Amino acid sequence: MTDDPSSEPAVRALRQAHALLNELPSSGARARILQAAASVGSTPPRRARFAFGGGSFLPRWFRGPSFAGAAALGFVVVLAISLALYVDQSQKTYEPGAKGIEIAQNSSGIAATPAAPQMPSRTMSSDRGNLVAEAGARGAAALSGSEKERLAVPDHASDLPSFASKPRQDAASGAAGSPANRALALQEAQSASGAVAAPAKEARIASVPDLSRNSVGLSTARTCAQSAAPAVATQGVASEELQTKAGSPVYRSSAKSWLERIEALRKACRDDQADAELKLFHETYPQVPVPEDLRGP
Amino acid sequence: MRAYAQGDVASFEQLYVRHERAVYRFLLRSLRTPSMADEMLQDVFLSVIRSATSYEPTARFTTWLYRIARNRLVDHWRSHDAVALESLDEVDGCDVPYVESLVAATSDQPEQIALDRGRAREFALAVEDLPAAQRETFLLHAESGLTLDQISAVTGCPRESIKSRFRYACAKLRARMSHWSES
């Protein structure tokens, strides 16, 4: 046998027989086949498969449970996105530092700045907790000046602006002559005498520079995008709210910080307050000369 | 076929005219009834139409077409004629010594026999009387021009089995033709 079928007599006989018999399919069968081919061929290829499928022209994925599954999946995706957006929004509006500042205000009576709650409470509360624990462990033992400095100014002292950190340093070093320094000195004496409330008072002392630092830092961060002069003014305004237990602003604890405060008010165009501060400054420090540019217009 | 899948109906008509008679005769010799052959011819070509969009030209179109036709025949026999299905599944389908004797006896027969219409009809009946496996192989090779490898691909049988089936079919048909020359 070869691949050429015509070499076989039976094959040749078969072809002769077919030629003689002339067997053809019926015209009806041919017409139906060609009609079906025309109807399917005239439709787009995607629809071709449905021509014999009971007349349904819906896509296959649109029928049956697959569509329900796709709809459920879409709903779950939308729900997940909404939940993620809600959680993200909640995290943005949550201010964890507000609670800690409120507690500090209630316990020590110190007025906090509006910007202070923006700081995370983790740092403040942990610092305060460390201070309380440390002071409690020491009990009635007297704290040296360096220890007070360490407790009052945690490891962010280098970040502080000069006009905010210096009053604290002055208070810690025991500089006398101003109501603020006298109040701080009184607190130090009480803590050194072994009073029961020593840890709490230490915490109050420590919380004052913390608040000052935080408010100044945040205010600076907020106003850096604006301009230099408003930034200084904002820093001065924030520190204005900080007062010692005796009720006098911190910046009045030294002549230098007081002058910086007046300079900040001038730059912020708050000349009325600057003039008032300048007047008080002259009464407190009559011998200290005031720079020309701070004397007002 | 790819042109038809793109929407060219004329290409399908051309394809149909080319294969219509051969497929019909293949079905008619297998089913023996023109009406059933008509019906199955429609089934075969409607299957082709349905599969046009998913058709992949991995083999000759003729091979693919006759595979569809054979599958339709197997489905038909599975539901109607179990005996024919068994005959189609058997390896050789006949008694080998008998066929060998047939081949030896008809080796000296004339190669060309003139057929009239009556003899042609008788020869067609002789083909229809062949065992299903041999008839299928003979028709696929003689009618459709498929090679042994292509028939092997269509039927799923080994090439050697196809070859022996064809030899047995030809031997039987030549034995029938020898009676015509004697008469």
Q: Which two tokens stand for residue A185?
A: 């000195």
Cβ distance B25 to A41 less than 8 Å, yes or no, reads no
Domains: count for chain A: 1
B136 or A110: which carries more pLDDT confidence? B136
B141/A23 Cβ within 8 A: no
Contacts with B120 from chain A: Cβ below 8 Å? 16-18, 20-21
Question: Which residues in chain A touch residue B9, judged by CB atoms under 8 angstroms apart?
Answer: 37-38, 41-42
In chain B, residues with a C-beta closer than 8 Å to the C-beta of A4 are none
Nearest 5°: phi and psi at A157?
-65, -30
Tell me the residue range of the domain where A266 lies. Answer: 97-294
Interface check A14 vs B, CB under 8 A? yes
Q: What is the pLDDT of residues A265-286, one digit of tens each?
A: 888 888 888 889 888 888 888 8
Candidates A4, A6, A27, A30, partner chain B, best to mutate (most B CBs within 10 A)? A30
Tokens of A255: 């002549």
Chain B: residue nearest A24 by CA? B21
Closest residue to A48, CB basis, from B45, B53, B119: B53
User: Residue B124 carries which side chain, given as an amino acid letter?
Assistant: A
Q: Is residue A16 part of a domain?
A: no
Of B25, B45, B142, the CB nearest to A5: B142
Closest chain A residue to the Cα of B111, Cα to Cα: A9
Tokens describing residue A250: 């911190």
Is A83 inside a domain boundary? no
Cα–Cα distance measured from residue B29 to residue B40, given in angstroms and rounded to the nearest whole number:
12
Residue A195 lies in a domain: yes
In this complex, do A25 and B121 lie within 8 Å of one another by their Cβ atoms? no
What residues of chain A lie within 8 A of the CB of B5, using their CB?
Answer: 45
Max Cα–Cα distance, chain A, nearest Å: 140
- Whether residue A44 lies inside any domain: the answer is no
Q: Chain A residues with CB inside 8 Å of B141's CB?
A: 5, 11
Closest CA of chain A from B130, distance in Å: 13
Tell me if A202 is assigned to some domain: yes
Q: Do B7 and A42 touch (CB under 8 A)?
A: yes
Confidence of residue A230 (pLDDT cuts 50, 70, 90): very low
User: Does residue A59 fall inside a structural domain?
Assistant: no
Give CA–CA dist B57/B60, Å, rounded. Answer: 7
User: Cα–Cα distance between A171 and A281 in angstroms, integer?
Assistant: 19
Does A78 score more than 90 pLDDT? yes
* Mean pLDDT, rounded, for A111-135: 48
Q: Which residues of A touch B109 (CB under 8 A)?
A: 9
Nearest to A33 among B46, B113, B169 (CB): B46
Q: Are A5 and B145 within 8 A, CB to CB?
A: yes
Q: Is residue A208 domain-resident?
A: yes
How many inter-chain contacts (A to B, CB under 8 Å) are there?
Answer: 134
- Chain A: nearest CA to B31, how far in angstroms? 13
Contact B7 A28 (CB under 8 A): no
Give the per-residue pLDDT at B53.
Answer: 76
The whole model's pTM is what? 0.43
pLDDT of B74: 87
CA dist B83 → B30, B96, B146 (Å): 13, 20, 26
- pLDDT range class, residue B114, cuts 50, 70, 90: low
How far is it, in rounded angstroms, from Cα B13 to Cα A4? Answer: 28
Closest Cβ opposite residue B120 in set A16, A36, A38: A16
The mean pLDDT of chain A is 61
Letter string b/e over residues A12-22, b meaning 16 or more CB atoms within 10 A of that residue's CB: bbbebbbebbe
Residue A52 has pLDDT above 60, yes or no: no
Which of B92, B94, B76, B95 shows the shortest CA–CA distance to B84?
B76
pLDDT for B81 equals 63
Phi, then psi, of A177 in degrees rounded to 5: 115, -15
pLDDT grade for A17, boundaries at 50, 70 and 90: confident
Ordered domains of chain B (ranges, CATH): 2-80 (1.10.1740.10), 85-182 (1.10.10)
Higher pLDDT, A228 or A182: A182
Residues across chain B: 183
Residue A275 in any domain: the answer is yes
Residue-wise pLDDT for B6-20, tens only, equals 777 888 888 888 888
Interface residue A21 vs chain B (CB under 8 A):
yes
From A14, A20, A44, residue closest to B142, measured CB to CB: A14
Please tell me which residue, B179 or A121, carries the higher pLDDT value. B179
pLDDT at B112: 53
Which of A6, A21, A22 is the best mutation test for B, with the most CBs of B within 10 A?
A: A21
CA distance B13 to chain A (A): 7
Question: CB of A157 within 8 A of CB of A216?
Answer: no
Q: Respond yes or no on whether ipTM tops 0.90.
A: no
